């Protein structure tokens, strides 16, 4: 009985919580987006973008990490952008709809200077909007 009430009160979060799959429209959209990004559309224009992957409700974006060394190419020291990225996802109607439906976003950085992976879920946005 409690499970039924939870599913009625929080349908999107409950789907993700209990391991149910994403809605069909979101699964299809996410697969297509990963393919398009890997063909050079949208954010793949970022020179640090490597690839996108979608599997099992998780959209992963891979980036090459760049050196924070002031003598490195492009020489700027880059500050941690985790809070800004999280705020961007949580304050966007587009991303909030997908997060609330159970989609998880991961930003994964590769290389010797790589920061930790950033995982964004609907629960990551509590207190952000």
- CA triple 29-35-39, angle to 5 deg: 140
Residues 6 or more apart whose CB falls under 8 angstroms from that of 26 comprise: 98, 101, 102, 103
What's the pLDDT at 115?
A: 86
The tokens of 125 are what? 């946005």
9 has a pLDDT exceeding 50:
no
pLDDT in tens, 12-48: 444 444 455 899 999 999 999 999 999 988 776 788 8
6 has a pLDDT exceeding 90:
no
The tokens of 128 are what? 């952000």
**Mean pLDDT confidence for 55-62:** 96
The tokens of 50 are what? 């490597």
Determine the 3-state secondary structure of 65 from DSSP.
coil
Q: CATH class for domain 24-125?
A: alpha beta
What's the pLDDT at 67?
A: 61
The alpha-helical segments, DSSP class H, found in the chain are 2-9, 11-17, 24-38, 82-91, 93-100
> Domain-by-domain residue ranges, the chain?
24-125
- Evaluate whether 82 touches 116 at the Cβ level (below 8 Å): no
């Amino acid at each position: 009985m409690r499970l039924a009430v939870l599913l009625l009160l929080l349908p999107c979060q409950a789907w993700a919580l209990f391991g149910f799959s994403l809605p069909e429209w979101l699964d299809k959209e996410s697969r297509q987006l990963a393919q398009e990004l890997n063909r050079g559309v949208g954010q793949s224009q970022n020179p640090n973008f490597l690839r996108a992957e979608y599997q099992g409700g998780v959209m992963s974006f891979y980036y090459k990490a760049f050196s924070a060394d002031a003598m490195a190419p492009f020489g700027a020291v880059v500050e941690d952008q985790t809070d800004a990225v999280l705020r961007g996802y949580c304050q966007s109607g587009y991303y909030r709809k997908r997060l609330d439906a159970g989609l998880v976003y991961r930003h994964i950085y590769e290389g010797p200077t790589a920061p930790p992976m950033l995982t964004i879920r609907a629960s990551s946005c509590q207190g952000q909007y």
